[in-house]
Chain A
Amino acid sequence: MSGWDWTSDGWVTLVAAMSAISCALPGNYLVLRKMSLMGDAISHAVLPGLAAAFLISQSRAPLPMFFGAVVVGVLTALLTQAISRFGRVEEGAAMGVIFSVLFAAGLIMIRQATDHVDLDPSCVLYGNIEHIGLEAAVGGMPPAVTNLAAVLVLNVVFIIAFYKELRICAFDPALATTVGINANLMHYALMVIVAITTVANFESVGSILVIAMLIVPAVCAHLLTDRLGLMLVISAMIAGLSAVAGRVLVVYAPGWIGVEADTNTAALMTVVAGMLLLLAVLFSPEHGLIGALLHRMSFARQVMREDILGLLYRWHEMTRGRARSMTRDEILNAVGRNFLSTRALRSLRRRGQIEIDSPVTGDALHGMRLTDTGSRRASEIVRGHRLWETYLRTHFELPLDHLHMPAERVEHFLTPELSAKLDDALTGPDVDPHGKSIPKTSG
Chain B
Amino acid sequence: MILAAANERARTITDTGFEWPTWPAFWRTVSLADYNTRVVIIGTTLLGIAAGVVGTFAYLRKRAMVGDALSHATLPGIAAAFLITGAKSLPPLLIGAAISGVLGILCVLGLRRIPRIKEDAAIGIVLSVFFGAGIVLITFVQKMETGNQAGLDRFIYGKAAGMIFSDAALIGAVALAVLAGVLLMFKEFRAICFDAEYAAAQGWPVMLVDVIMMSLVVLTTVVGLQAVGLILVVALLIIPATAARFWTDDLRTMTLLAGFFGALSGWIGSSFSALLPRMPTGAVIVLCTGLIFFISMMFAPLRGVIASIVRRESLSLKIRYQNLLRAIAEVEEQAAPGISVPYAHLLAERSWKPRQIRGLIRRGFRRGDLHAGDAGGLALTSEGRERANRVLRNHRLWELYLIRYADIAPSHVDRDADMIEHVLSPEIIRELEKALAEAPPIPPSPHAGEVFA
A residues within 8 Å of B by Cβ?
31, 34-37, 39-40, 44, 55, 58, 83, 86-90, 92-97, 100-101, 103-105, 107-108, 111-112, 114-117, 121-122, 125-126, 208-209, 211-212, 214-216, 218-219, 222-223, 259-264, 266-271, 273-274, 277, 281, 287, 289
Contact = CB atoms under 8 A, between A and B. Distances in A.
A305 B172 CA distance: 62
A36 B132 contact: no
A34 B118 contact: yes
Given A37-B123, A40-B68, A107 B136 contact: no
A214 to B, nearest CB: 7
B303 A87 contact: yes
A281 B114 contact: yes
A277 B153 CA distance: 28
Interface stretch (B34-42, B283-291, B372-380): B283-291
B246 A87 contact: yes
Nearest to B126: A274
Contacts of A94: 242
Count chain A CB atoms within 10 A of each CB in B62, B65, B136, B142 and give the residue with the most. B136
A270 B62 contact: no
A101 B327 CA distance: 51
Contact of B64 (A58, A93, A271): A93
Contacts of B263: none
Given A83-B297, A264-B139, A277-B125, A271 B62 contact: no
Contacts of B135: 126, 208, 264, 266-267, 270
A363 to B, nearest CB: 44
B235 A212 contact: no
Contacts of A97: 235, 238-239, 242, 290, 293
A96 B235 contact: yes
A212 B128 contact: yes
Contacts of B157: 107, 121
A101 B114 contact: no
B156 A271 contact: no
20 contacts: A36-B123, A40-B124, A92-B64, A96-B64, A96-B68, A100-B239, A101-B286, A107-B282, A108-B284, A122-B156, A212-B125, A212-B129, A259-B140, A264-B139, A270-B129, A274-B133, A281-B111, A281-B117, A287-B115, A287-B116
Given A96-B64, A277-B125, A104 B290 contact: yes
B279 interface: yes
B180 interface: no
Contacts of A215: 121, 124-125, 128
B199 interface: no
B439 interface: no
Contacts of A58: 13-14
Contact of A90 (B64, B118, B142, B235): B64
Interface string B276-315: 0011101110110110010001000001010000000000
A92 B65 contact: yes
A390 B162 CA distance: 77
Contacts of A273: 129
Nearest to A249: B136
B143 A259 contact: yes
B189 interface: no
Given A97-B242, A100-B235, A114-B278, A271 B132 contact: yes
Contacts of A122: 153, 156
Interface of B: 11, 13-14, 16, 59, 62, 64-65, 67-68, 111, 114-118, 120-121, 123-125, 127-129, 131-136, 139-140, 142-143, 153, 156-157, 231-232, 234-235, 238-239, 242, 245-246, 278-280, 282-284, 286-287, 289-290, 293, 297, 303, 305
A307 B156 CA distance: 58
A268 B136 contact: yes
Which A-B residue pairs are the 9 nearest by beta carbons? A270-B132, A274-B129, A100-B235, A101-B290, A212-B128, A267-B135, A104-B286, A104-B283, A215-B124
Nearest to A267: B135
A36 to B, nearest CB: 4
A121 B232 CA distance: 13
A31 B121 contact: yes
Contacts of A88: 303
Contacts of B235: 96-97, 100-101, 104
B293 A270 contact: no
Given A40-B68, A87-B305, 5 more contacts: A36-B118, A100-B290, A212-B129, A259-B143, A273-B129
Nearest to B141: A261
Contact of B121 (A219, A264, A287): A219
Contacts of B121: 31, 34, 36, 215, 218-219
A40 B65 CA distance: 11
Contacts of B289: 101
B129 A93 contact: no
Contacts of A222: 116-117
Contacts of B129: 212, 216, 270-271, 273-274, 277
B136 A267 contact: yes
A89 B139 contact: no
Nearest to A274: B129
B74 to A, nearest CB: 14
A108 B68 contact: no
B269 to A, nearest CB: 10
A123 B116 CA distance: 33
Nearest to A92: B65
B234 A100 contact: yes
Given A219-B116, A281-B111, A270 B64 contact: no
A211 B111 contact: no
A37 B124 contact: yes
